[in-house]
Structure 1
Amino acid sequence: MVTQLTKNAIDSLINSTNPDEQYVIQVLKAPQSVAENLFKISISDGYSKFKKGYFVSDAAAKCQDLKDFSIIRCKKYIDDSNHDKERIIISNFDVVYANIQEIIGKPIEYKQYKSQGFVNADGSITIPQQYLSRNAQLLQQAQVSQPKQMVTPPVSNINKPAPVVNNTVAQKPAVSNQNIGRVNQNPQQINKSAPVKQNNNNNNNNNNNNNKANSSLQNSTDTDEQNLEYIKNLQPNSQQTIKVRITKKGDLKSFKGDKAGKLFSIDVIDKYGDECSVSFFNEIAEQYDGLFKVGQVIIMKQFQVKVNNNRQYNKGDHTGTINKESKILICQDDPQIPFIKLSRQYISDLQNKNKGDLIDLIVIVKSDSEIKTMTLKKDNQQQSKRDIIAFDESLIETEITLWGETAKEYDAKQGDIIVFKDARIGEFKDKKQINIGYGTQIFLNPDEQLFPQIQSLQQWYRGLNPDQMSTIQKVQNNETGPREVTSFESSLNILKEEIQQHNKDPDMKIWKEIRGQIMYIKETPLYYNACFDCKKKIQRNNEVWTCQNCNKDFPEPDSRYILSLNISDSTDTIWVSAFDEVGQKILGCKGDVFRYAEEDTEHGIETKKRLLMAAQNKEYRFLLLTKQERDQNGLARDKTVIHAIKDMQPAYEAKKILNSLDKFLEIENGNQS
């Protein structure tokens, strides 16, 4: 429990003395909007106060509910120490207490405090005891941290054959030196120091690369590693310094057009697992080509930052460009910087993805065809092809096609494990499939140190019996398996018509993507109290919560959403269900918040009402699944569940409208002719 402010936090934030530190400070006055996504704040650390504070980025997006005297934990801030004026720019925070009714200590103006040698006899950082109630704290937090456990809960709360996302940042390497590379060596075999790309067939090229390395790259010193920025804090139209590891190196390519030239790019990752792409153009590209290796740690100085407008090829929210003023320094290996970041999903999640989305998969090879030679229609050129049938814990299989040299390289056999990073979702005859794109990285039987999830996957696979193997299903389309309607883009009136049409089919499954808004959320029940391990309902037993299924006790339950809500679009309305992950997206907090609200007799009703009202009338894209289930009396009924939910994206919506207009005009022109 947080019991005090961070002493001298104001001075640390102004001078950026420790960018890794998280500071607890008090907001003296509610934030005031001075521009779009920019709020001015007055803050205090109990000894000094400062009026020129600002909320930007994520902080600006969630600051409007802050009241006077709220206490926050500053998670991210922008190093502004080189600016000629003193100011504090906070880009993200967590609310610690929102029910404070007074100023902590007797802070004085920062300039006065600094001139007095950072002495204020009346200052204090101690938060009065009456505000330290556990319920008062947790009710006001935007996110509730996990309770203290008698039994340690798992890292991820999962209650289905295939979890939706399991974000993992691997810490040890086994990375190929190619964009799409086979990885089967020990992590220690990677050469982290040599910046020169070897070419045994051409000694002249090797010498040229050595000469370029001597002129373009230098080793870093301790001084170079001071005042580093991080990828999450990069700002457009600025020149900044970051320390990163190279995770992918592209080939030097030529491009044509009005601005013909050459380019290559690298993908990099920092100590926090954030990623971005960095580009090299023309003579800069030629100067640095061949000097980098995947897995290398470098410092980049004075490179230009801009917003990432091409997410198909580039990583992160921002991208970097190396220019003539930039410097790239080679560093000793830094174990704090991971070698790769994998946001694993499952084959079962393909159904919820849109064409063109990226996905990270870890799969087991079920069967592998021999290499075939195909003649491509577009240019009559022959191309090598290999089809791999693979599956995962979701017990669904999919076909993955490899082409060209990649097909020749990956001679996978039954039982092999393959990791696909940034595979692209494709679609053929209403069936989702995996495409290997420009940025896809492939790892065949990689070291477990690189991807720790492999160990549990191998144990699961070894435990499968023939009966379980026989239950593996193919990714469904409209022509196979149970009746499954997968024409996603639709409306509620069409959904209801199809439900009526297929309501006598017990295997009916209807998938629809609806653009609509939330009209109403039933107040009870909102959640159930679950076991952290098996997710089944648990009961309170005096001071502990007992799971009869697992025979374990917990000091607090995992309160998981079971929402019933009414959504509408321009054609109709429908009652739907939503469970924990979707519920957190809709309500902006975990179910524990509502449990604490019910325990708080003074403010709980108001808190509950405020959260429910804030969630209504918001517009989303809902992925709905309708199927039949049996009620307690054994009677069949249709049930529609929100399987996934996405925020509205104006650019995407505008593009869909324009495409619809184009199709309409084509039909009109065809009728007139």
Structure 2
Amino acid sequence: MNLTFEAVRKIVQQGQNVTDLKQKIDCNYTLQIVENYFPQSSKEKLDQLLCFRVSDGYAKMKALFFRTPNPDFVQLRETDPLVKYPLIKVTSFRILGRPVEGDDFPILILEFERLQILEKIIGQPMSFKSYVANGYQNPNGATSLDDYEFAGIDDLLFSNHKSQSIGYNQPKNTIQQNIQEIPNKQEDKPKQGIKISLSKTKFQKQQQADPPQTELVQQQQKAQVQKQSYDQMAQNQQFQQIQQNKNNQDQLNQQQNQKKQQLRVQIQPQQQQQQQQQQQQQQNNQFNNKIPNQRNNKNNPQIDFFPLYQINPSFQQPFRGRVVKVNEIKSYTTKNQKDGKMFGIQVIDEENLVSAMFFDSAAEKFHDYIVQGRCYIFSGVLVKPAKNLEQLQKIGCLPFDYTFDQNSQIIEIDDVPGIPLNTFNFVKLNSISQQKVGSIQDVVVVIKSSSGVKEFQQKNKDEKSTRIQLGVYDDSLQEIEITLYGHLAQQYPYQVGEIYMFKSLKINEYQGRKSLQNNYQTSIHFDKNQKEVKELQNWLQNFDGKLAEPVSKIKLISELINESNKCELDQNLKIYSDVRAQLVLVKNSGTLYYQSCTNCLKKVTTELDSYFCSSCNLTLKEPKYRYILNCKIADSSGNIWVSVGDQQANQLIDIPANLLKQLTDEGKEKEKNEALSKSAYKEFRFKLTSKLEEFNDVKRVKHAVQSITPISNADTQAILNQIEFYMKNI
């Protein structure tokens, strides 16, 4: 009753050669149901199907069954994760969905036969995608029930139910002959390498349940079982002798520790304190010497581990994975005014990602030992239901909090090729402009420029931090700026022309231009073997160095009005817009300019023959006059009033504000109106900000001009070039 070796691989290959998805495929595969599978489908379809993942001991794939009244299968569907793992013999199936190269696809099992129900998974099957990436190899796989020890399984139980046959049409009555004997559960777990034989009582019960066989076959089976029993007795005696020697050694060590404890009690108080300090120093030295030894002897650690998806609060066992992110160690203060230190890591295995924390002594012990990108076996971790489930779901982590203490064990192992560097969902840079501000994105980019690492003073803090600003681009020919803060600014050299993978960058926007920056979730990776990196490297070899001009959508004024109405619902919302419009009118009545400080340019107050600036605490004889204009602009869809400051107003009016005041004081209205209307009906490109403001207890949306650019033939040609470029690259 062995599992069918490489059955999943054969099913995928059969599915790739099928032209008709409704075709029934006959087969003869023995598989094991290992976990539930919940497809994104309608409730009606889920009510008609049972969805699981099946395994051949090495790889697993998605399999759907028609609902059956069999209580064992109904109970499986209601249990997540599974606690029982049936063996089934599949005789026919159908492909559901077009196969994807390098990945599996769901199949509908039409006819199958349930053989036995196990309480452990045979082997440690990985996803088919990881199995392909690992060269169709799984060092922890198992092809038969006799291989369970190699996979670290030491406890197998079978139900007393007879094998049943369940088919798509009418159930079949089949007889399983010459079924191999299956190891029974032992009270003591065997040491790895010792095979378990079937006890006489179990063998007799199995004989009674099996169909009648010939006398010769029964005699051969009886002789084989007796021989296995003799071998088991000899191996058990050897195992007991080893265990007895170990117990004697433990007793001797315990006696020595008791003698040391008695001597320690006799030490005087002052000498006792010195002795404790020396012992603490020795322990620290011992730990510091222990870490390098673990790294030097990391080839074959004798620790059994489990996949991350099996680790939960009720099953806190060792697990293996790659560290994809190590945060900085930080200080914190509790409500009881106790100071401590902490840092976090993210660990990934072949399929899942988890987030773990270290506090106080554990943080100091492990922070310098754990290196991003390396593989470890973790044990002694405390697992609890997640407190911040929503945050973990955003970064794709399992819904549990993992906490290490100083007694936890972390052992570095050789690199595992089947474990990826991280889980990425890369987007092109030309799509960033369409994404929401604050959303998290992954990108793979080429470094174009670097500002170098610089120090700056953090707001509301006495500490200084570091940052670096990188100009980057990708094969979408779009350039964008990435700002990195803290230790990430110094993690890599970021040389021009190098390719980096950024995980979980946050989208920012300033004056209508979007950029990317790191946050506490961000990690950076440098791997030439990544598929996307290779594709970008090949593209870079033929790149001519010409990038697309920055894209900024030009809005109609009607679109701006509709979008700015959102500001009335959110007082903190600020909208950036580009419009191409004509200057229709400059309002020549009311306030055209204001009196400002010559130092800070803020408004001053009049005091008899002088002017006072409250910001600078200065008294001025003469102020500086600055424009503040109200202008109407219009395009084919509508018109709006905008506020224009001094710098932008000087582009519309040739004379400065103090000369306009002089014309007003002298009553030269004609010259004044000519100056204000000089740019009337000329077309400009206006960059605007729209925000809700309150004046005299009246709230209204104010549109302020940030910059004004005259429209020229070259500008029009640049727009046409952009249209032509994007039409070619659609």
TM bracket, shorter-chain basis = 0.3 to 0.5
Report the structure number with the largest CA radius of gyration: 2
More helix by share: 2
Greater relative contact order, per chain length (Cα 8 Å cut-off, separation 6+): 1
TM-score by length of 1: 0.43
